[in-house]
Structure formats: C-alpha cells, structure tokens
Amino acid sequence: MKAVISSSPPPPLYIPNSSPWKPKSPITTTTLLIPRASKSPNQTKRAQRAKANAKGFSGTPAPTTKETPATQNSGKGSGADDDEIPQVVFDRMIVRILVSVGTPMATGLALLKIFSIFKEQGLWDVPIWLPLLTTLLTFGVSGFGIPYGALSTSWDEKSKGSLLGLEEVQRNWVEMWREEDESNN
C-alpha cells in the first residue's frame, strides 16, 4: 500500500534547447524559390518577379537564331525542313494509322470479352496468364501502328500504294534515314 501511495508519476523531461545549433535565419519555400532582387525606385513589381527560362536554371537567355524564309522549295532533296505533306497523302496516312492502331486494339478487347464469356458460362476455365498475354501482344502491336501507318503510306500524291504497304515501308524507311543523314551533314 505504501508503494502505491508514495509512487507518483515521474516529472516530465525538460529539454531547454533541442539543438545546440541555432539557425541564423529561418528557411522558407519563398526564400528558396524567389531570389532577392535589388529594389530601386525605377523598378516595377512586374520587373521584380522571377523569370523562368526554358534552358535549365541559368539566368542567361538562350541564343537566338535568325530564321530565313524558305523561298526555294524545288521539291525533294531541296534541304528545306518545312516541306508540307500534301493533303491527299495526309488523309491516306491518317486512315492507315487508324486502321493499324484500331485493328489490334479491337482484337484485344474482343478477346478479353470472349475470355470473360467463356469463364462466366463455365465453358472453359481460362488461365489467368492467357488474357494478360493477349492484352500485352495486341496492345503492343497497336502501339507500333502509328509509325507503321505513317511509313506504309505512299508519299507520292499520284500513287495510292499497295494494300499492306510493305513496299512503301521499305522505300520510306530508307528515304527517312537518308534525309536525316543529309540534315546532320
């Protein structure tokens, strides 16, 4: 009984200073993000705001290049980077991209639906890896549909090209890398 009466909770620990080092000035997010600008009476608030540059954190602006208009477009191999795609070729390219992306994606979604019907009806206990594998394959192939659709299109306005565009892919692939090599030289 004496032990219960005489026992009292220990006094709370008192730590007067948790750190022996005192910070010279408090660091806040505003001091880290906004540099201090020298204030002069001629500067406005707009001029004192921090300005972001597109090329990293440097304060120097990026060098500008003088653009010259491309006045001599003599056709293929003229060296102009701003060659426009004719509207006929662009329309063909869009159709081929939509088909080459949409067909594998629709196939993948249809297979997922078929697998779920088989499982719900009890016709076949579909292993879990099979829908995963078919989804990876069909959606992966649809990802390659964009470059294939662009490369399998005949870039000639007058020529429509073949159904699958395999000959056009071979021709356009070489043409694309040749133009890239010429622009690097």
Q: What is the amino acid identity at position 80? A: A
Q: What pLDDT is attached to residue 185?
A: 82
Question: Domain limits of the chain?
Answer: 87-183
Q: What pLDDT is attached to residue 122?
A: 93
Q: What pLDDT is attached to residue 5?
A: 57
pTM comes to: 0.52
Average pLDDT per block of 10 residues along the chain, 185 residues long: 60 64 58 54 53 55 54 48 83 95 97 96 94 96 94 91 91 90 87
Q: What pLDDT is attached to residue 83?
A: 75
